[in-house]
Every structure is written in C-alpha cells, then in structure tokens.
Amino acid sequence: MNVALPLIYNLDFEQLTAQLKAWGQPAYRAIQVWEGLYKQLWDRAEDFSNIPKDLREKLAASHSFSNLDKQDTQFSTDGQTQKVLFMLPNGNAIETVLMRYAERRTLCISTQAGCAMGCVFCATGQMGFKSNLSSGEIVEQVLFFSRLLKQDEDRVTNVVLMGMGEPFHNYDASLAAVERLSHPKGFNLGARRFTISTVGLIPAIKRFTAERRQTGLAISLHATNDELRSSMLPVNDRYPIVDLIQACHEYVEKSGRRITFEWALIKDVNDSREQAVDLAELLKGLNCHVNIIPLNPTKGFAGARSTRERVTEFRDILHAEGISCTVRVRRGIDIQAGCGQLAESHTLAAKPA
C-alpha cells in the first residue's frame, strides 16, 4: 500500500476516463479498468489481466488501491455480525460492520472518523470529530467486504451509512460514494439499496430532497420535545423539531418515498406511554416508518436500556395509533458493533506505533 498516492476509488467514471485519455489510452480502457475495480473487485494493479502490462504498471505507479489498513476483525458470538477496524493513512481509525441476515447482507459503513455532533449516548459522538473520509475511503469499505463475501459467492445487498460519523456533515463524499457504487457498469448496487441516516441537519436534508436522490433517508429523532432532544442531541438547538419535521414532509412529498425515524429507547427518558402517543401525533399524516432501537450501552453515558415490557408497549402504542414501526434486532452488541457503539477500538491504541 502506497498511501502517498491518490486512492483510485476517489475517481468517478468520468475522471477515470479523463485520466486514461490523458495517458493516450483508447476509450474502451476506462470501462475495462472500471470493471476490474467494481466487478472483479481487484485490489492490485497486477491483477488487471484485461489491460496491457504497461498500463498496469502506470496504474500501480500513480494510484493507491487501498487506504484502509485492516487492524482487527471481531465476530459476534452467533458469527452473524462481523466488525472490522481499519486505520486510515492519517492515523485515525474507523469501523465497518457486516450483518448477515437470512436474505440480506447489510453493511454499516462509516463516513467520518469520530463525529462532531456530540450526541450524548453515542460512542462515536463521545470521541469527538477526528476527520472526514474521502469518497474512495467510504467506497473501499464496501469493496473490502464484497471481496470477503465473494469468496462464498455472496455479495453485499444493502448498505447503511450509519457507522461512525454524520453522513450529512460529509455530504459530498457520502453521496459520491453512493453514486460510485451504484454505477450500472461497475458495482451496480442500486441507490435504493443504500440508506443514509442523519441526526437532522436540515439544510442537507433540503439539498438531498432537491437533488431527488433515490437513496433511503432515516432521521434520528429520539424525542418529541425540544428540551429533551437538545439535551441528548445538541444539534437540536440549531435545528429544532418543528423545522425538522417540516423538512421531512417536504422530502416525502417531493420524493414520494417513505421516510424512516430512529428512536433509541432509553429507560425512563423517552420510553413512556405519553411519549409514544406524542410521537404518533407528531408523525401523523407523514408516510414514515419508525425503527425502535433499545439503547446500546456506551462507556460515556449512564442511561439504561428500556425494559422488554416498555419496548413492547411503546411499539404497540405506535401500532395502535397507525404508525408503522419495528423493534430493531440487536445485532453485534457483544462486540460493540451495535448502533452508536462504534469508536476507536482499544486494539488500535494497544498496537505499537
């Protein structure tokens, strides 16, 4: 790995085409290299058996084929969830999680090292912001796991931008990564197979709406009143609930798509009957789905997970009020791979410099 070189996954198809053209290559080379990267999943220039040797050498000398240095892999006890810790060239760490379901292979990817949003219950938020990932580094997480799955003739079926970081705080790179991976001549995972989760950055939601993106949108709501939401999600001071819900209505109207809300259920904080009723009231008339996530434990937050009875009751009230909702199956919490649990692992800190 030569990290001094630009990462090849940072190039979109047009940029790759322009680069090859500048090298005097015939037009069809771009598609050959693109297919090598995104269909064959080759990660070394010498693998590109579909192009001449001199071009392979040129690619090797000019571009890096990996910025993600794998440090550690952990499997949940049931073996169905796998978390990988990568080090970036700048020394920061990120984590990526693969969840295997009966039919789906869902990848939870990071868009930033750390996060600037400071949500109190989130391990990534507790770290603070470290750095943005480039689009290619976001893409490479998907390619890494796709290569693993390919060994079993399997593939990634869904991608959620719900790992470390706030995707809308790194908007261009996050959306460029989705575009690159949904390119029909390459990786070809449709934009609808991706879901972006945001803490509620309204200008970015409006931009996303205006761009008429096909990618799914999820909003981390967690409270129906501003005082409580601000105490957990500091960003709520700037983007209060009434404006947020308004932006969600605009999105649903313009896109014709359903929107998802996430609700981390915290014992005696946001799990009462009244709050379930308030939530149903707030979301009335909005084509939406609520994901209830019983709080995952993190070091820096004293709050506890709601009891099983409360979780069921909360869900039942939403259902009774006509709100579609599901309780998210808790995946990988035994390896700190659950929602909001991703943070620079101790493994990395323990490694010699």
Residues in the site for ligand SAH, rule: CB under 6 A? 119, 121-122, 162, 166, 197-199, 220, 262, 264, 293, 295-296, 298, 339-340
Known active-site residue 339? yes
Q: How far is the CB of 43 from ligand SAH (least distance, A)?
A: 27
Binding mask 148-167 for ligand SF4 (x = CB under 6 A): -----------------xx-
Of 31, 229, 9, 257, nearest to 119 by C-alpha is 229
Q: Which is nearer to ligand SAH, 16 or 293 (CB)?
A: 293
Q: Among 64, 67, 124, 306, indicate the residue that binds ligand SF4 (CB under 6 A).
A: 124
Q: Which range, of 2-10, 85-93, 122-130, 319-327, touches ligand SF4 by CB under 6 A? A: 122-130
Q: Report d(CA 125, CA 114) in Å as an integer.
A: 7
- 3-state SS string for 25-80: CCCHHHHHHHHHHHCCCCCCHHHCCCCCHHHHHHHHHHCECCCCEEEEEEECCCCC
Binding partner selected for residue 45 from ligand SAH, ligand SF4, none, CB under the kind-specific 5 to 8 Å limit? none
Q: Is 117 in the site for ligand SF4 (CB under 6 A)?
A: yes
Of 131, 54, 145, nearest to 99 by C-alpha is 145
Known active-site residue 95? yes
Residues 243 to 302 in contact with ligand SF4, rule: CB under 6 A: none
Q: How far is the CB of 261 from ligand SAH (least distance, A)?
A: 9
CA–CA–CA angle 228, 233, 235 (5° rounding): 115
The answer to whether 160 and 107 are in contact (CB under 8 A) is yes
Q: How far is the CB of 107 from ligand SAH (least distance, A)?
A: 14
Binding partner selected for residue 339 from ligand SF4, ligand SAH, none, CB under the kind-specific 5 to 8 Å limit? ligand SAH
Q: Which range, of 63-71, 120-128, 211-219, 245-253, touches ligand SF4 by CB under 6 A? A: 120-128
Q: Is 338 in the site for ligand SF4 (CB under 6 A)?
A: no
Q: Which is nearer to ligand SF4, 64 or 306 (CB)?
A: 306
Contacts of 183 (CB under 8 A, 6+ apart): 12, 13, 34, 38
Q: Which range, of 9-17, 37-45, 121-129, 249-257, touches ligand SF4 by CB under 6 A? A: 121-129
Residue 310: half-sphere exposure toward Cβ, Cα within 13 Å: 20
Q: Report d(CA 297, CA 280) in Å as an integer.
A: 26
The answer to whether 155 and 105 are in contact (CB under 8 A) is yes
Binding partner selected for residue 181 from ligand SAH, ligand SF4, none, CB under the kind-specific 5 to 8 Å limit? none
Q: Among 269, 340, 341, 344, indicate the residue that binds ligand SF4 (CB under 6 A).
A: 340
Report CA 36 to chain centroid distance, whole Å: 25
- 3-state SS string for 256-306: CCCEEEEEEEECCCCCCHHHHHHHHHHCCCCCEEEEEEECCCCCCCCCCEC
Of 322, 269, 318, 273, nearest to 292 by C-alpha is 318
Q: Which of 122, 288, 339, 344 is catalytic?
A: 339
Q: Which is nearer to ligand SAH, 248 or 295 (CB)?
A: 295
Q: Is 125 in the site for ligand SF4 (CB under 6 A)?
A: yes
Q: Which of 95, 140, 166, 344 is catalytic?
A: 95
Q: Which residues bind ligand SF4 (CB under 6 A)?
A: 115, 117-119, 122, 124-125, 165-166, 199, 220, 340
Q: Could you give the residue numbers annotated as active site?
A: 95, 339
